[in-house]
Amino acid sequence: MDPYGLRVDPGGMQSLQRKVPQHFELMGQRKGFVRYMSPDLRALVKQHADALERKETALTAILQVSFCILYTSCTSACSLEHLLATAQGDTCGLPSLLQCGLLGKQQCLYPA
């Protein structure tokens, strides 16, 4: 149902229907209500829908760029933190390759 139409109540439908301008288009009848819409109103509703679509497209683009910036900065910060820890000789929390005794001579990643 289109919320931007003119609804005529069933109580005074006959007298009100005669007062509806000729250029208004009949949109439909439901439960005794008759709905009308003018061509000007239809154009405004289309403009409104187009504006909402452009807004959603712009917000989606902004969110994608923001996420990309956040992801890049977090990845860079983590890489920098690991590089600094390695340069200082501190391997606490960094994974290291060890020989797995149970799995033969396979190399496994374990936290140091």
Q: Please report the DSSP string for 46-89 in residue order.
A: HHHHHHHHHHHHHHHHHHHHHHHHHHHHHHHHHHHHHHHHHHTT
So what's the pLDDT on residue 11? 65
Instruction: Give phi and psi for 66, each to the nearest 5.
Output: -60, -45
pLDDT at 23 over 80: yes
Would you call 45 helix, strand, or coil by DSSP?
helix
The pLDDT-based confidence of 95 (bands split at 50, 70, 90) is low
So what's the pLDDT on residue 50? 96
Instruction: Give phi and psi for 2, each to the nearest 5.
Output: -90, 120
Q: Specify the higher pLDDT residue, 94 or 16.
A: 16
For 25-82, write each residue's pLDDT tens digit: 888 877 777 888 889 988 999 999 999 999 999 999 999 989 888 888 888 888 888 7
What is d(CA 28, CA 7) in angstroms, rounded to the nearest whole number? 10
Length in residues, the chain: 112
pLDDT at 13 over 70: no
pLDDT at 112 over 50: no
Instruction: Give phi and psi for 26, each to the nearest 5.
Output: -75, 120
